[in-house]
Structure 1
């Protein structure tokens, strides 16, 4: 157990943003399903990505990681086997992607997990997969036992569930003999993640055809081996935009793809609307707030629909707490089922630091304050909570202490080091 102490400091400089965790999960699985040797470059092994790599190994994949080159080598091997045990750690992406993939391979599999993962919903698969030849056994969550081989056909699911279910099916269905379709019974949320999946599938030679109600997936396709470079992570960039908005100084972020399919690229327009100055020049995103030293920093609150960008809510919440007026964050119900109840966690954390946040049924109501008091906040063992609260120190009269510091290893192990490179102060203290 460790706490991190954030202190007010001047921030400036250039940062190489880490590779996208979302893109990396998908690329690793596409590489493992291909016929041949693949190299995946610009890849860092967070805890979540380690879970996916180990899942591939559990299915017979041959994978090695060159830490110095940040490259994952996936050697040619037929995934499958009779049985497998897969520990997904705390990774929802690993679990929801691997269930249909293992089912398509016909592997009798037991899935495990820890933290809040065993309680996260799997009901869509519990309904759909038995209709297509796969038996699931669970007493509610994990462990989950699965046997049988997935059949091609029509899969109908609501669009307001996690896009991870759609991605899992998109990865698996091309492997089946017959054609399949995914039909959405309501409007799709987190569409950017599905667009990212389809783009990476195409990079590995797999075709998905969009229809009026979902997607048509031709069967009998082959994943093609290739060398793939993982793009930078827009989800992580949002934390540094929040730091720039509250702290002032010019922060430059390299490694982001301006034309990315990642939905969290929306952080550019949203932080601009708060009042942050942003410019993309020569592949570098530059962010600064010339009014940061004023009360409220020249920032203004507004209403934000986060149905397509749920992972950005922690960073948006901290910025909103420092913005003049009121901010409403809505369509955020699914955040109650993440590594923590992120709506409750962010409300409690920011209120403990001097913010004014009220939970609603589907989001947060936030009234801005000119400065925070600082103090102690619970990180709730949630990487995005811990990282978001770094920005609160920029506007606090006292230091900000956040529990569960090392939860950042789940997605961004080098976060504290990168913050320090920009002049930030983040002291991690072991509390036993």
Structure 2
């Protein structure tokens, strides 16, 4: 672990920031590019550890990648081209890697085991295994968690499945297994979860054969851009332009909430690439108001909730964020972790069932935040320090590398 202490921003944050490529799109580019026929040229792929986990697991099954100047070439092996791994597939900290591969492995003719680090080994996998079993997959979890063993070699049948929880990863696993199933597979999604799998499948030619003889530039990750948007909103006089960000309708929830709270936020769509909308987001400082967030809005900003809670602690009045049960199943228990971190710095925060209540403005006193190895917690409370909550000591700042290896250097470059 690597502790790090941050203080108030040196001055207004100005200029432009280009954030790493979107993790969700990156995972799917590697995975579906591998399952397609042809070569997919990918630019802007995230250098984070999560996406690297997907590449490593695919390579262990015979997938081929070529690093070229400025881009990565994914050499497709086709739906039936993967090979049995010689050892358990190490997904490290990446739940997306494990859950999507559960779907793909269900359609293979060989057995495989999916494992992960201590954090991932605590996360629920039955929610994915259950619908895959309905399709015919022989799949076993360990008390509902990893390691996960997929027997392979069983014929799959298409199903119509209604999501019981708001999880794009569950939906994606079922759709990926559907590529190997007899008959139609359909997923009913009443929550409006992320649709990057559907868009990537369409980009590569589905419902026909998957063809990858094309180029893809991964747009900037809005969940990473959110940290800079929040910092600009908190630091007086700031104005940041976040360039070439993914503007998928299912990923705009944080920017919409930030605008409701009083920050000056705008975005301009610059076009569509690989079925995804891309554009710039501009954020300027503004006095913040408390927020009431309904549970129905959480799927559109679930990764940004810790950051949103930090912003609420700077607003005058009581904020209430509802429907946060899913946060207990992330890299850490983000619901309790966010509340505890706010209290450690002097803010008033409490968990009420599935809701988080934050009363501001906080009487900040600085202190130590136990990041629990969770990249979102680390980066959210780095932003809190910039806004004046500090000095804030992050117990493990290095965990930011899971999604954003250059986060702290990019903050400094923006004037933090």
TM-score normalised by structure 1 residue count: 0.86
Aligned length: 396
- C-alpha displacement of 1:331: 0.9
Alignment of 1:18-417 (within 5 A): 18-66=20-68, 69=70, 71-78=71-78, 79-83=81-85, 85-140=88-143, 141-148=145-152, 149-176=154-181, 178-184=182-188, 188-189=190-191, 191-193=192-194, 195-207=195-207, 221-248=209-236, 249-258=238-247, 260-261=248-249, 263-280=250-267, 283-289=279-285, 291=286, 298-305=287-294, 306-308=297-299, 309-369=301-361, 371-396=363-388, 398-417=390-409
Question: For each residue in 1:110-162, what CA deviation from the matched residue of structure 2 results, as whole angstroms up to 9, or x when unmatched?
Answer: 11101221121111333333333322234322222211335122153433242
SS at 2:4 equivalent: strand
Question: For each residue in 1:357-408, what CA deviation from the matched residue of structure 2 results, as whole angstroms up to 9, or x when unmatched?
Answer: 0012112011111552212111110000000112211333641111111111
Q: Could you tell me which residue of structure 2 aligns to residue 422 of structure 1?
A: 414
Query: In structure 1, what is the Cα distance between the partners aligned to 2:389 and 2:216?
Result: 46
- C-alpha displacement of 1:12: 1.9
SS at 2:59 equivalent: helix
Q: CA 1:143/1:257 → structure 2, altered by over 3 Å: closer, same or farther?
A: closer
Q: CA 1:361/1:88 → structure 2, altered by over 3 Å: closer, same or farther?
A: same
Query: In structure 1, what is the Cα distance between the partners aligned to 2:58 and 2:44?
Result: 19
The 8 Å contact of residues 278 and 287 in structure 1, kept in 2 or not, is answered as yes
SS at 1:180 equivalent: coil
Q: CA 1:319/1:2 → structure 2, altered by over 3 Å: closer, same or farther?
A: same
**Structure 1: gaps spanning 5 or more residues:** 208-219, 292-297, 425-432
Query: In structure 2, what is the Cα distance between the partners aligned to 1:146 and 1:398?
Result: 47
The 8 Å contact of residues 264 and 312 in structure 1, kept in 2 or not, is answered as no
The 8 Å contact of residues 128 and 155 in structure 1, kept in 2 or not, is answered as no
The 8 Å contact of residues 322 and 371 in structure 1, kept in 2 or not, is answered as no
The 8 Å contact of residues 132 and 151 in structure 1, kept in 2 or not, is answered as yes
Query: In structure 2, what is the Cα distance between the partners aligned to 1:415 and 1:179?
Result: 45
Query: In structure 2, what is the Cα distance between the partners aligned to 1:200 and 1:33?
Result: 12
SS at 2:197 equivalent: helix
Query: In structure 2, what is the Cα distance between the partners aligned to 1:45 and 1:244?
Result: 24
> Following superposition, which runs of at least 4 residues in structure 1 exceed 4 angstroms of deviation?
none
Q: CA 1:378/1:36 → structure 2, altered by over 3 Å: closer, same or farther?
A: same
